[in-house]
Amino acid sequence: MCGRYFRHDVTWAEYHAALSIIPYEDVEPPEATYNAAPTTIQPIVRRAEHGTHRELAPARWGLVPSWWTKPLSEMKFTTFNAQAETAAEKPVFRGAYRHHRCLVPVSGFYEWTGAKGAKTPFAISLCNRRWFCMAGLWDSALIDGSEIHSFTILTTKPNDLMAGLHTRMPVIVAPEDYSLWLDPEAGDPSRLFEPYPTDAMQAWPVGPEVGNVRNNYPGLIAEA
């Protein structure tokens, strides 16, 4: 499961170098966040709705399928994560899986482990990369006359590092595979669902302050 993540500042030059995204004139790139949580608005990378170029777009974390027309308050199921193994078949995600894949730029994510009521939060990142991308799906729904763009993060079985923290981990996409994931016509992406190599990742305990979504500052990722 991936229910919280963090992202350092990423410049337009970095987005362009890694993802060929053309900078938006007179618009600053998204601000850093150190406690992104479901229902917040976060940037995603997707193929443009009109054209084949890639764009950085804001979306709500927690996918709302295109066929949903009721108020969001009536959604009684959680959609901030989708299992990679079943997303292509589940009614909530299958349309997005076929047509609306995206990447979620992050610098790392959080996971909690331990006994109930006394869980320790851990921050997890890649060893040699300041930021990277997780595999996601996005969709668009019309609710109360407003178009809502939203996304989910795909999860897979854990590697050896993550197995000690949780039974799932996010699908991390290597830069050379960005096109394979973003382009539904590029071929079968299932090999991307293998857990990311253990020796390329690191984890460390952080303070309990990250448990409060109102806290959002760099010190949240400091080792406890």
Residues taking part in catalysis: 2, 111
Q: What is the CA radius of gyration of the chain?
A: 17
Cα(152)–Cα(64) distance, integer angstroms? 9
Question: What one-character DSSP code corresponds to residue 20?
Answer: -
HEC-encoded secondary structure of 104-132:
EEECEEEEEECCCCCCEEEEEEECCCCCE
- Compute how many other C-beta atoms are within 10 angstroms of the C-beta atom of residue 186: 12
Residue 39, C-beta contacts closer than 8 angstroms, at least 6 positions apart: 60, 61, 62
Provide the terminal-to-terminal Cα distance of the chain, rounded to the nearest Å: 22
Q: Would you list the DSSP string of 176-201?
A: GGHHHHH-TTS---GGGGSPPPGGGE
> In this structure, are residues 39 and 206 in contact, taking their beta carbons and an 8 Å threshold?
no
